[in-house]
A = this chain, B = another copy of it.
Amino acid sequence: MSDDEQRGRGAASVHRVGGLLGDLQAADDQPVAPRRRADAERNRAQILAAAEQLFAQQDPRTVTMDRIAKAAGVGRATLYRSFPDPSSVAVALLDEHERRLQGQLIYGPPPLGPGAPAGERLAAFYLAMLDLLERHLPLALGAETGPARFRTGAYGFWRVHVRTLLVDHGIQDPDPLIDIALSPLSPELYQFQRHELGLSTERVGRSLADFARQLLRSGE
């Protein structure tokens, strides 16, 4: 899993939107890629490690490129070579954690993987995402600034998954519903529910699971 960090630069996560599934088990051989130099690799690792600290320590929305570079002990231009802005660093860090869940959704056992009714799968997906949010909220919040989370490769993956569930369930016009169904997973929203309203993870999770089952009810 830590090997995954080496796959592509920060900006690459944007390109992943096209080849979502194929990317899951992509071999580590680089077809024509000019190969990364060892010092660049080392710097990238330092940057990611330092950034993870920073996002956890302070308000994730206030983390700057300048701060990350200083914390990682590299120059500003070196940082810019790998990432265009702070949120793309957070996206790269999140990617690693999200990839495990992505695999479970496709190949794992039900109800997360195939085999369960759509409503149950959606409920399980919500709970898994909630767990991810709970454990990596600072990163999720940091990833949201800028062009927002809708353009990340991960979001594209969730869209494909939810669309499958909606179609499975026989929804007439699934496309506008996809993002509606994903909207309760907004990091900002979760942060508000947990730390402003003081709701427990369990309470939010129960509501979300009920919500999923109600949305994709068998007795349509």
A180 touches B192 (CB 8 A): no
Instruction: List A180-220 residues whose CB lies under 8 Å from chain B.
Output: 180, 183-184, 186, 188-189, 192-193, 196-197, 199, 203-204, 206-208, 211, 214-215, 217, 219
A35 CB → nearest B CB, Å: 34
- Of all chain B residues, the one with the shortest Cβ separation from A216 is B214
B211 touches A180 (CB 8 A): yes
Q: What is the bound-complex CA distance between A217 and B179, given in angstroms?
A: 21
Contacts known (A148-B188, A148-B192, A214-B217); A197 close to B180, Cβ less than 8 A: no
B207 touches A177 (CB 8 A): yes
How many residues of A sit at the interface, in one of the four size bands?
A: 20 to 34
Q: Which residues of B contact A211 (CB under 8 A)?
A: 177, 180, 215
- Of all chain B residues, the one with the shortest Cβ separation from A144 is B188
Instruction: List A38-84 residues whose CB lies under 8 Å from chain B.
Output: none
Identical chains in the assembly: 2
Q: Which residues of B contact A107 (CB under 8 A)?
A: none
Q: What is the bound-complex CA distance between A189 and B185, given in angstroms?
A: 12
Contacts known (A179-B192, A186-B183, A192-B179); A173 close to B215, Cβ less than 8 A: no
Instruction: List A71-123 residues whose CB lies under 8 Å from chain B.
Output: none
A176 touches B199 (CB 8 A): yes
A193 touches B215 (CB 8 A): no
A203 touches B173 (CB 8 A): yes
A165 CB → nearest B CB, Å: 14
B184 touches A203 (CB 8 A): no
Known interface pairs A180-B184, A211-B215, A215-B215; 5 further A-B residue pairs with C-beta atoms within 8 A, sorted by A's residue number: A148-B192, A176-B208, A179-B184, A180-B189, A183-B189
8 residue pairs bridging A and B, Cβ less than 8 Å apart = A175-B199, A176-B206, A176-B207, A179-B193, A180-B184, A180-B208, A183-B189, A186-B186
